[in-house]
Amino acid sequence: MENKTNPIEIRMGLREEYLPMLMEVEQACFSDPWTEAAFRSELSNNYSFYVLAFEGERIVGYVGGMSLYETCDINNVAVLPEMRRRGIASALLDRFFAEAKERGAQQVLLEVRAGNTAAIGLYEGYGFKPYGVRKNYYQNPAEDAVLMVVTLC
């Protein structure tokens, strides 16, 4: 896929050398970002998998999750603010879903801030439906989580 300036390449797999760039994306995208230690622990988790979007050698977005038997969880999806609305998250999710199916997942679950209309719009486009709410699940700021699920066909 291409944006208006440089081509975007979608690659599978988290590597230790990617962690500093991944942290830049994380900190630019979330008020309560994951720590580098949290990402580092993902490197040795066989159930976790990451799909990364590169502009040249720079990471501009990622999706990470965990697939265990028939269920896959999306931990996070993030795209740098200046790179949004160019289909990068969609390209990441397309690849993520293909990998989840390869791993035997039959459904994908996630939680999202109730006021995150961009992410909810993205997920609805993939057929995710809400199935519950966790009150005050998030901090900084406190906010409910909407739980969403889609069945893979």
Ligand X SMILES: CC(C)(COP(=O)(O)OP(=O)(O)OC[C@H]1O[C@@H](n2cnc3c(N)ncnc32)[C@H](O)[C@@H]1OP(=O)(O)O)[C@@H](O)C(=O)NCCC(=O)NCCS
Residue whose CB is less far from ligand X, 105 or 112:
112
Residue span 34-73 as binding mask against ligand X, x where in contact by CB under 6 A, dash where not: ----------------------------------------
- Residue 109 in contact with ligand X, rule: CB under 6 A: no
Q: In which element (H, E) is residue 146 found?
A: strand 143-151
The verdict on 121 binding ligand X (CB under 6 A) reads: yes
Residue of 26, 42, 99, 111 marked catalytic: 111
Determine if 133 is a binding residue for ligand X (CB under 6 A): no
Calpha distance 107→150 (Å, rounded):
6
Residue 38's closest CA among 53, 22, 52? 22
Using rule CB under 6 A, residue 141 touches ligand X: no
E strand intervals along 30-128: 48-55, 58-68, 71-79, 107-113
End-to-end CA distance of the chain: 25
Residue selected from 90, 101, 109, 114 as contacting ligand X according to rule CB under 6 A: 90
By CB under 6 A, tell whether 132 contacts ligand X: no
Helix (H, G, I), strand (E, B) or coil at 100: helix
User: Is 102 among the residues known to form the active site?
Assistant: no
* CB distance 106 to 148 below 8 Å: no
Which residues bind to ligand X, rule: CB under 6 A? 29, 76-79, 84-90, 112, 116-119, 121-122, 125
Residues noted as catalytic: 111, 123
